[in-house]
Amino acid sequence: MSTSVEFKLLAPHNNAAVFMGSFSDWNEIPLQKDDKGYFRISVELDDGVYQYKFQIQSKSWSHEPDEWVEINDPYVTEIDASTGNGVVRIKDGERIVDDYVWHHDDKPLPENHELVIYELLVSDFFRGSQDNHQGHYTNVIEKLDSVDRKMLRKGVVSGQTH
């Protein structure tokens, strides 16, 4: 069963982007930018596990002007540890976002005004002063001892005020 899966990348200051993945034998697929700055593509995928990534023509000060840079999908929920590519899973014609089995759903949630939600930019974290591997959850986990590590690995970080 094949299903259409949309991938998008917000890059309003970049002129060009391409999309590639294991489903296209890593052939580059040029993307067009819409009027809101998104590069979008819909790909027909059968059930399975696929790796993918974007390349953008960078405008960042940290790269040569118009240098092509590989980046991961900011919406990706899984990264392959050996390749660093984004992973998408399709099962029964549906995109699988998370296979985590939530526990304790029978417990009532606190009111919104009682919650504290922590937000951080993972790409800001490095392992150490000599580390050039920027932006990994493991780097965050090493730095934040007070946060429930299991929840951080799942991308869920919340607290409750008292």
11-43 per-position pLDDT tens digit: 998 889 999 999 999 999 999 999 999 999 999
DSSP label at residue 77: S
Domain 2-96 has CATH 2.60.40.10: yes
Tell me what the mean pLDDT of segment 1-12 comes to.
Answer: 90
Break the chain into its structural domains and give their ranges. Answer: 2-96, 112-160
Can you give the C-alpha Rg of the chain in angstroms? 18
The predicted-structure confidence for 87-117, as pLDDT tens digits, reads as follows: 999 998 888 877 667 777 788 878 888 887 7
Which pLDDT score, from 0 to 100, does residue 53 have? 96
**Per-residue pLDDT at 126:** 57
The answer to whether residues 57 and 17 touch, using CB atoms and an 8 Å cutoff, is yes
**Cα distance between residue 109 and residue 127, in whole Å:** 34
pLDDT of residue 161: 37
